[in-house]
Structure 1
């Protein structure tokens, strides 16, 4: 089956800066695919290369089997939703949504009908006569989505579109975006630096670092089986145990990833039962509602973070603990980088 988007050894240089460095990636049709990474990692430049706003310095890009190097954005079967929405303030919502069809020469009645259908898709029926300034942030985000979808793209590109929303609305829109993608069945490529967004919405995630892809996999794979220290540190919060500490606790002498929620805290008088364990002292406590994050330090000076259920009771700084975990919770990483 032809991939929706294929990047083959793609690089993009800005002077001496390699924003994207020899990236190869296959994105299947119909997937919700996330490009995840910190600022400056290359994810947004990669999206812009797919959109046509940038051209590769080298390498090859295909969209549904068609070569797109040198093809302008308006001739690609993609549309982009930007973080700032880029709505025209002097136009009504309906006119904003229909703008792309007007540029293509679609008649007034046809584009008005298509705009209303697109607004219905994003639960904004009846809002066509309003101005963007009369809408909430979440509603403006939906208008931007409708404007992109009205052109019936084969691939929808989303450049951190939830970044301007507050937490509650952002979580709501994550659910709505995922539901919309499932109902439409088209390929969504979503750029974000927010690990929670990527893990909750995407079918697959490509993690970027220094212009390269560090790992590609399902959300579960990149979280539970990070291939490098960077992925372990960036996706969620992980303890990266060096080989000497891993060996001292009974594990292999390799770099190990251990998630904080996998660690069980034993207090004074409790004895570890045949699992990996180490003694530690609490150095800081952070209450997070259902969980309490404990920063601890072993006698060798290693920092280990623990996510303990808040129902486990109160802790205090300086308290001595035994940290225990199941060997199956460890993940041996392929590399240190």
Structure 2
């Protein structure tokens, strides 16, 4: 499989700040790859290094086998879609989309034809004569996509492009982006701090923390098999069970990750045979429509979060419950904390 982007021990320092710290990473051609992490974790700096807006302090970057260090952004076969879209307000939609082709010296008739094709690709045929101010947020996002795609980049970089949209439109655009990427076969590198976005869209995800990659893998492996406490807690807010508590509930004396939805609830009774579990007292109740999120604690103070389906009825603070789970539901975390 061809490698689209390769980071080899790449670091980017800003004074004493190590924004990116010895990152090695390969992104395959045609892959939808997400860079996920909290603010300041290094994911956006990595995107800017691919785009050429930043240069590495050390290490080596290749884009389709070609050295990227020192190559200016306009000479890289990549394009970037920003969160704020960065559309020219004085230009029409068609002129915005065709702008990159105009800079490259493509004649007017050809660039307008290519811009129309790009607008049709993002479901905006016939919108070329409008101004950005006449469009909704979702439509402006599509225009920004069309402007990037019209140049036929080998790698499309997306810097939290859905962050400014409301929830319903964001979910709709997630589906559309994934479909578009599948149809085009272009490598997408997508930066986000939204775990749901990354898990639902990406083929693989890199979790960033403090300038380093904590884990790389498929959405399923990241969610089901976190390697560290940070990954377990950041992606889906897992229960991170310390070794002493893990052993007391029937598991190995190691750090475990246990997802809230994998925990069953008994209103009374002991832990069923063949299961692991503990008696807890409900500390807080959070109604979430299809279910209720319970924050509970054992008599020893160990905290557990659990998702209770609506079929179990209502809960209140002070309820004493028995929580239990299958032995293989708790994942042993072998990585560093």
TM bucket (normalised to shorter chain) is over 0.9
Residue 3 of structure 2 aligns to a residue whose secondary structure is coil
After superposition, the Cα gap between the structure-2 partners of 1:174 and 1:62, relative to the gap in structure 1 and judged at 3 Å, is same
| Equivalent-residue separation in structure 1 for 2:311 and 2:49 (angstroms) | 49
Residue in 2 that maps onto 1:61: 61
Cα deviation for residue 312 of structure 1 reads: 1.4
| Equivalent-residue separation in structure 1 for 2:113 and 2:240 (angstroms) | 55
Q: Structure 2: which 5+ residue stretches go unaligned?
A: none
Question: 1:111-126 residue pairs with structure 2 within 5 A?
Answer: 111-126=111-126
**1:42–1:212 CA contact under 8 A, matched in 2:** yes
Residue 240 of structure 1 aligns to a residue whose secondary structure is strand
| Equivalent-residue separation in structure 1 for 2:130 and 2:143 (angstroms) | 11
Note if 1:312 corresponds to 2:317: no
| Equivalent-residue separation in structure 1 for 2:328 and 2:44 (angstroms) | 36
Q: After TM superposition, which residue ranges in structure 1, 4 or more long, deviate above 6 angstroms?
A: none
Note if 1:209 corresponds to 2:209: yes
**Matched pairs, number:** 337
| Equivalent-residue separation in structure 2 for 1:38 and 1:202 (angstroms) | 17
Deviations along 1:120-178, one digit per CA (max 9) or x if unpaired, are 00000000000000000000000000000000000000000000000000000000000
Q: Structure 1: which 5+ residue stretches go unaligned?
A: none
| Equivalent-residue separation in structure 1 for 2:63 and 2:291 (angstroms) | 44
Deviations along 1:233-291, one digit per CA (max 9) or x if unpaired, are 00111000000000001110000000000000111246523200101000000011112
| Equivalent-residue separation in structure 2 for 1:271 and 1:119 (angstroms) | 59
Question: 1:187-336 residue pairs with structure 2 within 5 A?
Answer: 187-269=187-269, 272-336=272-336
Residue in 1 that maps onto 2:19: 19
Note if 1:156 corresponds to 2:160: no
| Equivalent-residue separation in structure 1 for 2:173 and 2:297 (angstroms) | 39
Residue 59 of structure 1 aligns to a residue whose secondary structure is strand
Residue in 1 that maps onto 2:141: 141
Give the alignment's TM-score, normalised by structure 1: 0.99
Residue in 1 that maps onto 2:49: 49
Deviations along 1:67-116, one digit per CA (max 9) or x if unpaired, are 01000001001000000000000100000000000011110000000000
Cα deviation for residue 335 of structure 1 reads: 2.7
Residue in 2 that maps onto 1:93: 93
Give the alignment's TM-score, normalised by structure 2: 0.99
Residue in 2 that maps onto 1:186: 186
| Equivalent-residue separation in structure 2 for 1:333 and 1:132 (angstroms) | 49
Residue 4 of structure 1 aligns to a residue whose secondary structure is strand
| Equivalent-residue separation in structure 1 for 2:279 and 2:61 (angstroms) | 52
**2:31–2:187 CA contact under 8 A, matched in 1:** yes
Cα deviation for residue 336 of structure 1 reads: 4.3
Cα deviation for residue 310 of structure 1 reads: 1.6
| Equivalent-residue separation in structure 1 for 2:191 and 2:254 (angstroms) | 33
> RMSD of the alignment, in Å?
0.8
| Equivalent-residue separation in structure 2 for 1:149 and 1:270 (angstroms) | 59
| Equivalent-residue separation in structure 1 for 2:164 and 2:231 (angstroms) | 26
